[in-house]
Amino acid sequence: MIDLQELKTEWPEYNRKLDEALTLNKLLLSKIQRQEARRSLRPLWTIRLWETNIWLVIIVALAVCIGAFWGHAAPTISAGVLLLFSLAGLIGAIGQLVLLRQLDYGAPILALQKKLERIRMHQLWFERLLLAMLPLYMAHVFFWTYLFFGIDLYQFGDQDWLQANIILTLILIPFTAWLLREMGKVHPRFRWIAALRRNLSHWQIEHALAKLDYLRKWEQQAH
């Protein structure tokens, strides 16, 4: 037979132990989810470090090429254009490393999610900046043709071919402006733009955000 008096006496102790167990489980889940979010971003660290080094090599090589090409306007200007976009890529990669370094995985979930979202938008902004080079594709053509074959296409190339590429460049300018505007939207109208936007934002950040979002919802339900 159940002793009601004994049960009443021990009930607060049972409640205390239950609360301790729930608190411990909550702390363990929070720690695991935060570690998962942190682990998800490790490949992004590696990618950004490699990008930084690659951009540095490209910038040095382009600076050398500008000196070597001096006297040939089109290849020199093309190398200069490529150098400017490479500098933008380097700044973007370093900026990402700084933002990743500033992440505090012990901060409140919502604050951490906002930081991750900021990193994603920062990355997307620089990716869009690099995509803005699309109408300037002739800079690549002039640069690589002179680098590998020593031919200045602007000076010795076929005039009809040059005019056709100028027309294509003019066509690409409004298309690129439209593409960049659409990619700036949270919900683009076209699936392929949404997919491109998602890929440029990097799956590592998406995965980390998903882990933290699960933890945030669990905490809300627990309260």
Tens digit of pLDDT for each residue in 22-55? Answer: 555 556 556 655 666 677 778 888 888 999 999 9
How many domains in the chain?
A: 1
CA distances from 210 to 152, 186, 207, 215 (A): 51, 17, 5, 9
* Domain-located, residue 17: no
Residue pLDDT, tens place only, 122-137:
888 888 888 888 899 9
199 located within any domain: yes
Cα–Cα–Cα angle for 204, 209, 211, rounded to 5 degrees: 100
pLDDT of residue 1: 47
Let me know if residue 51 belongs to a domain.
yes
Q: In this structure, is the dihedral angle defined by the CA atoms of residues 29, 35, 38 and 43, taken in order, positive or negative?
A: negative
The answer to whether residue 35 is domain-embedded is: no
Does residue 92 surpass a pLDDT of 50?
yes
The model carries a pTM of 0.74
Residue 15 within any structural domain of the chain: no
The answer to whether 97 touches 52, Cβ cutoff 8 Å, is yes
CA angle 195, 197, 51 (to 5 degrees): 115
Assess if residue 205 is contained within a domain. yes
Q: Tell me the HSE value of 209 on the side-chain side, using a 13 A CA sphere.
A: 14
Span 158-168, pLDDT tens digits: 888 889 998 99
Domain that holds residue 108: 41-222
In a domain, 155, yes or no: yes
